[in-house]
């Protein structure tokens, strides 16, 4: 997933990752269910069932896969759908797994079809057929695999073909975090970064974090930079909001893509309804990005609606953009 751009940012992001389920903030239902799956596997002395995690970027899917491996006392291998273009790429990974290993496949919906088919068999029977040769002379050589746990991550479970989805023993859907939960994430991060931050500043940063821990941590680092340059000992509400205004994060946490989508919806399409792909073209983004990154948050914030005829702007959208709602808008 899209980690911070600079290496230093990535190191910090890694350092801020919670290492066990108890330190993982929020998502209480997924946490409880997952904890049960892992406990049961430990009692039965078996590898845990395959786990599918779905949800927008930055909500903790990678972190949870690391926690699963740690809780199972197992090594973790990380790869991703886009990195597996040929069945052979997957065969190479699978054949080098050790018993009980956790394999994390990020963006699993982006795997190629042949690799996907190989994965079905590996998940179900811990076996793959390695095809040697081409055409009429091709032979399939069966290869036994040690039992392993696959943790697949996808931005939306619906992007996965049914047969693949069905092979996961447990599916956890991650939701956007509440402001209070993001405050907890931020408090923990501030402690680790040795920053002094007031409660009001935590609330301000959390409120602008788009319900996303990765963004919360990133904004905290930007606010930290601001405080450093302005020689502030303590980060207060004023400093936090001044810094975030400068980085163009608005009061509701909408980023450039979110605002672009809303603006296009309101100004180019009169508030809709408009098809998702048309909307994506208008903002110059891939349909999947608009659907899995921008839309979930805009819908949750009540700014955009989904109808059978397309996406529509909700009354709050015009208000948020400071525009007058046209009389013939769908609302
Ligand atoms: P994803 O894989 O869903 O894109 P990550 O697992 O990479 O998201 O999480 C991004 C960052 O957000 C991590 O560095 C981690 O520090 C933080 N984070 C995510 N979820 C939580 C959580 N529940 N509690 C604390 N920090 C979290």
- Ligand 1 centre and the CA of 43: distance in Å? 28
Q: Work out the burial of residue 202: count CB atoms within 10 Å of its CB; fewer than 13 is exposed, 13-18 middle, 19 or more buried.
A: buried
DSSP3 helix / strand / coil % (the chain, rounded to 5) = 50, 15, 35
Share of the chain above pLDDT 70, in %: 98
Average pLDDT rounded to a whole number, residues 85-89: 90
Residues annotated as catalytic (active site), given as ranges:
61-62, 106, 155, 214
pLDDT of residue 133: 85
Model confidence at 11: pLDDT above 80: no
Average pLDDT rounded to a whole number, residues 19-38: 93
Residue nearest to atom 20 of ligand 1 (CA): 60
Q: Between 264 and 327, whose confidence is greater?
A: 264
pLDDT, the chain, mean: 92
List ligand 1's pocket residues with C-beta within 6 A: 1, 13, 16-18, 24-27, 57-63, 153, 185, 213-214, 217
Pocket test for ligand 1, best of 155, 213, 219 (most atoms within 8 A of CB): 213
Q: Which atom of ligand 1 is nearest to the CA of 13?
A: 14
Please enumerate in sequence order all residues whose Cβ is within 8 A of that of 113, keeping only pairs 6 or more positions apart, or say none.
Answer: none
Residue nearest to atom 11 of ligand 1 (CA): 214
Model confidence at 328: pLDDT above 90: no
Q: Quote ipTM for the complex.
A: 0.98
Q: Per-residue pLDDT tens for 262-295? A: 999 999 999 989 999 999 999 999 999 999 999 9
pLDDT of residue 130: 86
Query: Measured between alpha carbons, how far is 252 from 303 in angstroms, rounded to an integer?
Result: 11
Model confidence at 4: pLDDT above 80: no
CA end-to-end span of the chain: 37
- Ligand 1 centre and the CA of 57: distance in Å? 9
Pocket test for ligand 1, best of 16, 17, 219 (most atoms within 8 A of CB): 17
Q: How confident is the model at residue 325 (pLDDT cuts 50, 70, 90)?
A: confident
Q: Per-residue pLDDT tens for 54-66? A: 999 999 999 999 9
Residue nearest to atom 19 of ligand 1 (CA): 60
Q: Which atom of ligand 1 is nearest to the CA of 106?
A: 2
Average pLDDT rounded to a whole number, residues 122-139: 90
Pocket test for ligand 1, best of 58, 109, 205, 215 (most atoms within 8 A of CB): 58
Question: pTM for the complete prediction?
Answer: 0.90
pLDDT of residue 134: 85
Model confidence at 1: pLDDT above 50: no
Average pLDDT rounded to a whole number, residues 108-126: 94
Share of the chain above pLDDT 90, in %: 79
- Ligand 1 centre and the CA of 212: distance in Å? 8
pLDDT of residue 229: 94
Query: Measured between alpha carbons, how far is 315 from 265 in angstroms, rounded to an integer?
Result: 12
Q: How confident is the model at residue 207 (pLDDT cuts 50, 70, 90)?
A: very high
Residue nearest to atom 9 of ligand 1 (CA): 60
Q: Between 4 and 152, whose confidence is greater?
A: 152
Model confidence at 170: pLDDT above 60: yes
Q: Which atom of ligand 1 is nearest to the CA of 216?
A: 12
Phi first, then psi, for residue 261 (nearest 5°) are -65, -45
Per the listing, tokens 């926690």 go with 67
Q: Do residues 226 and 195 touch, judged by C-beta distance below 8 A? A: no
- Ligand 1 centre and the CA of 172: distance in Å? 15
Residue nearest to atom 15 of ligand 1 (CA): 17
Q: Per-residue pLDDT tens for 230-247? A: 999 999 999 999 999 888
Q: How confident is the model at residue 3 (pLDDT cuts 50, 70, 90)?
A: very low
Please spell the DSSP secondary structure of 177-229, one letter per residue: PPHHHHHHHHHHHHHHTT--B-HHHHHHHHHTSTT-HHHHHHHHHHHHHHHHH
Average pLDDT rounded to a whole number, residues 139-153: 95
Average pLDDT rounded to a whole number, residues 113-134: 91
- Ligand 1 centre and the CA of 62: distance in Å? 7
pLDDT of residue 241: 93
pLDDT of residue 330: 66
Model confidence at 94: pLDDT above 60: yes
Count of Cβ atoms closer than 10 Å to residue 324 Cβ: 9
Angle (CA) 36 39 42, round 5°: 150
Average pLDDT rounded to a whole number, residues 298-318: 94
Residue nearest to atom 16 of ligand 1 (CA): 17
């Amino acid at each position: 997933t899209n980690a911070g751009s600079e290496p230093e940012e990535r190191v910090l992001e890694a350092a801020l990752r919670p290492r066990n389920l108890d330190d993982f903030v929020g998502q209480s239902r997924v946490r409880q269910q997952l904890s049960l799956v892992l406990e049961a596997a430990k009692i039965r002395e078996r590898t845990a069932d395959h786990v599918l995690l779905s949800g927008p970027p930055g909500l903790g899917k990678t972190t949870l896969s690391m926690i699963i491996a740690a809780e199972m006392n197992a090594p973790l291998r990380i790869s991703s759908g886009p990195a597996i273009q040929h069945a052979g790429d997957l065969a190479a990974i699978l054949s080098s797994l050790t018993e009980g290993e956790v394999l994390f496949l990020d963006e699993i919906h982006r795997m190629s079809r042949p690799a996907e088919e190989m994965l079905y068999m590996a998940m179900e029977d811990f076996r793959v057929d390695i095809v040697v040769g081409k055409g009429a002379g091709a032979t399939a050589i069966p290869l036994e695999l040690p039992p392993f746990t696959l943790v697949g991550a996808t931005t939306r479970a619906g992007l996965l073909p049914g047969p693949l989805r069905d092979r996961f023993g447990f599916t956890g859907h991650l939701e956007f975090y509440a402001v209070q939960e993001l405050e907890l994430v931020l408090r923990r991060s501030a402690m680790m970064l040795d920053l002094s931050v007031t409660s009001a500043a935590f609330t301000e940063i959390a409120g602008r974090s788009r319900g996303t821990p990765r963004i919360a941590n990133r904004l905290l680092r930007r606010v930290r930079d601001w405080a450093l340059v302005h020689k502030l000992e303590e980060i207060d509400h004023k400093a936090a909001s001044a810094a975030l205004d400068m980085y163009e994060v608005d009061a509701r946490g909408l980023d450039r893509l979110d605002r672009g989508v809303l603006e296009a919806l309101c100004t180019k399409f009169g508030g809709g309804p408009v098809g998702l792909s048309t909307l994506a073209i208008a903002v110059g983004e891939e349909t999947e990005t608009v659907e899995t990154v921008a839309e979930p948050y805009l819908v949750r914030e009540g700014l955009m609606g989904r109808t059978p005829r397309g996406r529509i702007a909700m009354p709050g959208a015009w208000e948020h953009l400071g525009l007058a709602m046209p009389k013939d808008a769908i609302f």
